[in-house]
Structure 1
């Protein structure tokens, strides 16, 4: 059959289905009319005529392409006559009455056959327990008689349950579960309290009861048997406890019960049973271990049984899913993670409380990773489950390896391991499309970052406390930071390759898209800043001179060259100017990222403000240290003056990069006006600072007031000239504001401290400048008028 014949057949089938749909709609409408007629007895409904729809017959074989099938009428079955309303009322009422009674009977059946029986068997067990305890407390019967009577009650209840199974299966299942609980009760009492049976026989009987419970639960297919028979057996040790502290017996008893649940999980997957056993076991064990406080008693016992419980629940949780090849649900994942971390927490507590095993904490953490790795390897080799389970357990391996590093190691090694692991997981997630690894890398990225911050804080603490000398560049801290930078740069290059596939956690990817480059830039800056600090800190420590020798009663007095401290700060400002310039250049020439461009602008403005305020002040301190040295033991060179011009050169470089950034188009807004203000204000600030510097070097104290007023007036004239030449109104307005500030400064600050000659010079100079400004406005007023017309 070629494609054209197949297409014709599909079209015919589609048409037939549409015709049948129309027939169904007509019948539905007829039923609606009948319902309306029953609701309004006075009206007479006329059933609509259902016309037989033509059925399209299939074309003969070898039909040429383009053949259109013809409609052929096929007799449809005549619809049955619709009964009259009078005849319809009685059956409808009977059906409703039957349905209401069925709901009532179902509820009554649930209470009578199900709920009452469970409550009854529970009350019976409690009654037997109370009666037995009363008989024990009052020595009414001998211990052997108590045990024999207990087994007799359990056996009788079991026999009665088996007899009723054929006709009353649900009731029989409840009785079987009660009988099993009684058997557990009696066996535990016979061994633990009366020593009537040896330990081996007691455990053998419990294994038999557990096996019987498993078989019974499977045969009856009733979860209630397992619940009452197995989970209910947890209460036995506590009901009969005399405080003897035989925890080994208790945990062995619990382990046997849990093994029964493990076997049952291969046949059935009853989640409530598993959850109850899981919760009760860990709650009982955790409560016991926490109650021991920090004592070293039961060290081996606690470690042995916690490991046994962990393995039982681990295998139980995987058994059914792996055997049936079912996908793990949310609750399964929660139980798997909870079991692993509860066991790890208890194990960590056990080892840390024992003074002889604290060094094994890292090995214990790594052992957890090995257990998960072995399971992961078996699942992968045997192809036992879906990929999600494989990746989940592999994630557990990675998690425990991650935890083992800080437990066993310290310092930079933790940071190195975490950042490398985060980078590898990020690579596997983005390149190999293993989504779960990106979720695992997310916390690791920030863990590695915070670990690096802790390393830096530790370095400063060591330096401030012990004045340690650390060689710049050639140290572990710098190596750690370089590996961190390399890993983050790798992740940044991977993150730029956008994937078209849908992402489950979009918010996480958005956070990473900003966090990775931000952390990368921050770490690069701080890394080299710290190395600069290390260099000058070493110089400061090496400059130490003992001016007074140590005596019996007094310590020696030492002198340090504090000029190195100020030089360190100055070089950090220079480095910051260079870093901001380099970052802007890299983005303009290579990256061309608009988001980074906004960040560049903010960083550049912030660095400019900080340098103009605090940076120039530190440079003035270097000048003062050169002019007026504080210590006679150290020689302050002229580099204290020269470094000022190095800093100004890098400041000019940053201003140029701001200009290039504004012209690059990455900012998507016209910021020419803002850049003009930034440029000319920076120039005014620098030349004002330089004027004060020159006056200080020439020992012209007090002349800076006169000089600044004249300088600001000349700069105002310069701004007006630039505003007229380039037709920039904002420059002209800025010049007027500056001139106004100069005049205010002159009349309210300068005039009181200036001599007559100085006042004359200032007033004459400013007067001349004002006349020149007025002349320029009159000469070029047509430019200002044309500018105003253009704006309007």
Structure 2
């Protein structure tokens, strides 16, 4: 009986003892319950189930003939008075014993057979490198002898590894990788440091070693060979470097290593190897290139090798997708984006730091787009990978084309291109159901908006209206804005129709639902506002008069028609009132959008408030310019007075549209009271302004105080009458508030500046008005009571 059979027999005996122990424990527990039942009369006792006997079979010794297996090879059944406890947390003792020993055995095997060998070969390589460096520094052996000995060590290690392959494959694989790394070291040193072999032979040898590494990694099916043999070879230039700066050799050497990894990628799914080479290559290259600063001595070399590395890593990453039919994942997005933008960043840096190549930046950006387009076309035609990879690469095409435009062009062309691109992507993404295109259109929409704002130079336009030579409508800015508006109207219609498909990012679609119409409205408003500014700016420049000019110089003092700037502000208010009214009308009659109705309400209120405050003040400035001209060079026409009534007409148009809006079913809440306040306050404000205007035109200076007090008193009486006639309590209360303000104004402001006759007129007038109001309340008090009762 050998040790394994004896171990099995002992385990069976242990299991029998455990079963008997469990039986005893169950019997003791049953006895305790029976004792408790006897001590507490009335408590029922349930006897345990009948005992079950389970035979524990002892396996027969190895090599025992089948006919020799008798009952003597099987242990007798062990009586078990109670069933064994099943599914204990600790589990079966024998199973636990085997698992613990297996874990210990696997861990010990990993350390002994795997980890120690790899650490050993790395230490060996480092030791050889340190020893070689010591011998070189102290001139202990000649350069040729060093190289010969190095090759001899590598070849010996390789031969020893091949001999051990049949019995110790894992250990042999580690030795092979170490031998390959040593061969790389020696070849690099023989060419770069000692010039013992020509460049062509050095590259041939490196290609041979790389090829051998690839074949060995595939033959052994061990990734460790590729890791130590290829990625480990990156350390060659740094361990043996003498500062000679032969970067061309270094990067060619790295390109050969990466080519070997590329070939491996078509055979083996060893992505950690790819990640390691990808990171090391770009780190080494970027550290070298950034250290150069503005030094352009390596312009062509750095551009060439960055392109080579980019293409190698691009093809390598795609090889995993194509050959392994791998599903496109997050790591692939990271690698593709990193590889593309690191290469583009390096190329942009190289070209921008060379004054002779700055103009090629746009072409370089477009070349990146072409590369990605060719790749996406191949994937699409050959159906080499899943759709997500195709869409990502196509998105890279769009991204680089988008970047190429501002790099190469400027002004409105960038805005036009980004706007059209955003609209096309939005159409394809929403209508064709390709989510990534809709996501790409999202940042482009806001990029186009920012570009348009930059074209406008919005603060400059607001105050000055652009350059003097810009004719209204007939300019590039208006063309750019028109294309922007048309594109956004198209996207708005698509967004309105294609809403049934679920979105991957619902929050993004929610933003677009409000963002596109909001941007569209703002752009339409400011587009025509800017054109109005351009017109008046052009008109103002045409009135320029040179007052003083030095003889023989171009220096001069100019004067412009100051009235034109004020007219421009007045026309901007008229345009704003017209825009708000038309927008409200279109929504009521055509669009019928509830969200837009709320926006209409807010916009209209803002337009009314701004016009009643600053707008009327602007109109009063125009009146003053007409009455009291400030310059003898320019004549001010009566149009300064006429524009006032044009403004009132458009203001009335907006009030009418506010009334139609509150009557429509677009607003969920009842805004009748709000509209009444808006209407009657606006009327009071307008007639008060007009009273002052008429008094100023008649040169009745100071009489507006008396006129306003009487006007407000009469208007209070009017509001009381309307409140009583229409049973509107808020009008009656408003009238009382207005009358109170009038009385406060009379006693604390008007009385000190009025003559005796004026005071008499005011007090008599307001007294009569108060009596009339009191009479109306007494006469129609039943209407007020009835109204209150109805509401109750």
Is TM-score (shorter-chain normalized) higher than 0.5? yes
CA change 1:771–1:463 in 2 (3 A) is closer
Alpha-carbon offset, residue 212 of structure 1:
1.2
User: Residue 61 of structure 2 aligns with which residue?
Assistant: none
Matched residue SS, 2:433 = coil
- CA distance 1:723–1:139, change in 2 (3 Å): same
Residue 487 (structure 1) aligns with: 487
What is the aligned partner in structure 2 of residue 168 from structure 1? 168
Equivalent in the alignment of 1:70: none
More off after superposition, 172-181 vs 614-623: 172-181
- Cα distance, 1:551 vs. partner? 2.6
User: Is contact 1:177–1:228 with CA below 8 Å preserved after alignment?
Assistant: yes
Which residue does the alignment assign to 1:155? 155
Q: 1:350-402: per-residue Cα shift (whole Å, max 9, x none)?
A: 11111101111111111111111111111122222222222111111111111
After superposition, give the CA deviation of every residue in 1:629-685 in whole Å (9 maximum; x if it has no partner): 111111100110000111111111111111111111211001111111111111111
1:268-347 correspondence runs (5 A): 268-347=268-347
Q: Is the 8 A contact 1:469 1:537 kept in 2?
A: no
Q: Shift of the alpha carbon at 1:274?
A: 0.7
* 1:167, distance to aligned residue in structure 2 (A): 2.2
CA distance in 1, matches of 2:406, 2:631: 47
**Counterpart in the other structure of 1:69:** none
Shift of 1:549: 3.6
Partners of 2:499 and 2:21 in 1: CA distance: 58
Structure 2 distance, partners of 1:466, 1:530, is: 8
Q: What aligned pairs does 1:340-355 form with structure 2 within 5 A after superposition?
A: 340-355=340-355
- Structure-2 change in CA distance of 1:83 and 1:150 (3 Å): farther
Cα 1:88/1:763, change in 2 over 3 Å = closer
Shift of the 672–463 alpha-carbon distance from structure 1 to 2, 3 Å rule, reads: closer
CA distance in 2, matches of 1:590, 1:135: 91
- Distance in 2 (CA, whole Å) between partners of 1:689 and 1:82 is 115
Moved more, 101-110 or 646-655: 101-110
What is the CA-CA distance between 1:467 and the residue it aligns to?
A: 5.1
Shift of residue 149, structure 1, vs aligned partner: 1.2
Could you state the TM-score of these two structures normalised by the residue count of structure 1? 0.89
Correspondence for 1:441? 441
Cα distance per residue 1:46-105 (max 9 Å; x no partner): 4899xxxxxxxxxxxxxxxxxxxxxxxxxxxxxxx9984899799932222111111122
Q: CA deviation at 1:177?
A: 1.3
Matches within 5 A, 1:35-50: 40=26, 42=28, 46=49
C-alpha separation in 1, matches of 2:196 and 2:202: 10
What is residue 627 of structure 1 aligned with on the other side? 627
> SS state of the match for residue 92, structure 2?
helix
Structure-to-structure mapping, 1:372-451, within 5 angstroms: 372-451=372-451
* 2:679 matches 1:675: no
Q: Which residue of 2 aligns with 1:52?
A: none
Q: 1:359 to 1:554 in 2, by over 3 A?
A: closer
- In the TM superposition, residue 464 of structure 1 has moved relative to its aligned partner by 6.0
Inter-CA distance 414–91: structure 2 relative to 1 (3 Å threshold): closer
Q: Which moved more, 1:297-306 or 1:454-463?
A: 454-463
**How many Å separate the matches in 2 of 1:461 and 1:270?**
60
Q: For 2:232 and 2:381, locate their aligned partners in 1 and report how far apart those are by CA, in whole Å.
A: 39
Equivalences for 1:713-752 in 2 at 5 Å? 713-752=713-752
Aligned to 1:140: 140
CA separation in 2, counterparts of 1:360 and 1:465? 35
**650-659 vs 415-424, which deviates more?**
650-659
* Unaligned stretches of 5+ residues in structure 1: 1-32, 50-80
Counterpart residue number, 1:255: 255
**Is the CA contact (8 Å cut-off) linking 2:372 and 2:393 kept in structure 1?**
yes
Instruction: Report how far residue 173 of structure 1 moved.
Output: 1.6
Match of 1:22 in 2: none
Query: By how many angstroms is 1:327 displaced?
Result: 2.3
1:580 and 2:580 aligned: yes
Deviations 1:454-491 (A, max 9, x none): 00008938996995321110110000000000000000
Unaligned runs of 5+ in 2: 1-18, 31-47, 53-76
Supply the distance in 2 between the matched residues of 1:525 and 1:467 (Cα, whole angstroms). 20
State the Cα distance separating 1:603 from its structure 2 match: 0.8
1:100 corresponds to 2:100: yes
Distance 1:47 1:573 in 2: 101
Contact map agreement 2:713 2:742 (CA 8 A) in 1: yes
**1:425-467: CA deviation from partner (whole Å, max 9, x where unpaired):** 1000111111110011111100000000000008938996995
SS of corresponding position for 2:547: strand
1:290 match: secondary structure: helix
Q: Does 1:567 align with 2:573?
A: no
Change (3 A) 1:150 1:700: same
Q: 1:224 to 1:400 in 2, by over 3 A?
A: same
- Structure 1 range deviating more: 381-390 or 645-654: 381-390
Taking the aligned partners of 1:526 and 1:738, their CA distance within structure 2 comes to 38
Map Cα deviations across residues 530-586 of structure 1 (whole Å, 9 max, x no partner). 000000000100100112343358943222101110011110110000011111111
2-structure distance, mates of 1:399, 1:553: 52
2:546 is paired with a residue whose SS is strand
Following superposition, the deviation at residue 215 of structure 1 comes to 1.3
Report the 3-state secondary structure (helix = DSSP H, G, I; strand = E; otherwise coil) of the residue aligned with 1:348: helix
Aligned mates of 2:763, 2:458 — CA distance in 1: 59
Q: Does the C-alpha gap of structure 1 residues 84 and 202 become closer, same or farther in structure 2, counting only changes over 3 Å? A: farther
Residues in 2 aligned to 1:331 and 1:274: alpha-carbon distance in whole angstroms = 12
The 1:553–1:519 alpha-carbon spacing in structure 2 relative to 1, beyond 3 Å, is closer
| SS class of match (2:635) | coil
SS in 2 for 1:496: helix
Shift of 1:41: 5.8
Q: Aligned pair count? A: 729
**Aligned position for 2:63:** none
2:662 pairs with 1:658: no
Q: Please state how far the C-alpha of 1:254 moved relative to its aligned partner.
A: 0.3
Q: CA deviation at 1:168?
A: 2.1
Q: Distance in 2 between matches of 1:465 and 1:269?
A: 63
Q: 1:87 to 1:186 in 2, by over 3 A?
A: farther
Equivalent residues of 1:234, 1:254 under 8 A apart? yes
Q: Which residue of structure 1 lines up, in the alignment, with residue 546 of structure 2? A: 546
Secondary structure of 2:266's match?
helix
Contact 2:23 2:83 in 1 (8 A): no
1:373, 1:467 → 2: CA distance? 41
Match of 1:754 in 2: 754
**Contact (CA 8 Å) 1:362, 1:405: kept in 2 or not?**
yes
Contact 1:467 1:541 (C-alpha < 8 Å) held by counterparts: no
- Alignment match, 1:53: none
Q: Does the CA contact (< 8 Å) of 2:426 and 2:437 recur in 1?
A: yes
Q: Is the 8 A contact 2:465 2:533 kept in 1?
A: no
- 1:123 match: 123
Residue of structure 1 in register with 2:223 after alignment: 223
Distance in 1, Cα, partners of 2:465 & 2:725: 60
Q: 1:782 to 1:478 in 2, by over 3 A?
A: same
Q: For residues 715 and 47 of structure 1, do their structure 2 counterparts lie closer, same or farther at Cα, with a shift above 3 Å needed?
A: farther
Between the aligned partners of 1:207 and 1:540, the Cα distance in structure 2 is: 76
Change beyond 3 A, Cα 1:87–1:208: farther
In the alignment, the residues of structure 2 paired with residue 782 and residue 465 of structure 1 have an alpha-carbon distance, to the nearest angstrom, of 61
Shift of 1:511: 0.9
Q: CA 1:241 to 1:35, structure 2 compared with 1: closer, same or farther past 3 Å? A: farther
**Separation in 2, partners of 1:464, 1:785:** 59
Taking the aligned partners of 1:132 and 1:321, their CA distance within structure 2 comes to 43
Q: Deviations over 1:711-745 (max 9, x none)?
A: 11111111111111110111111111111011000
The change in CA–CA distance for 1:193 and 1:692 in structure 2 (over 3 A counts) is same
How does the TM-score come out when normalised to structure 2?
0.89
Instruction: Provide, for residues 147-187 of structure 1, a one-character-per-residue CA deviation record: whole Å limited to 9, x for no partner.
Output: 11111111122222222222222222221111111111111
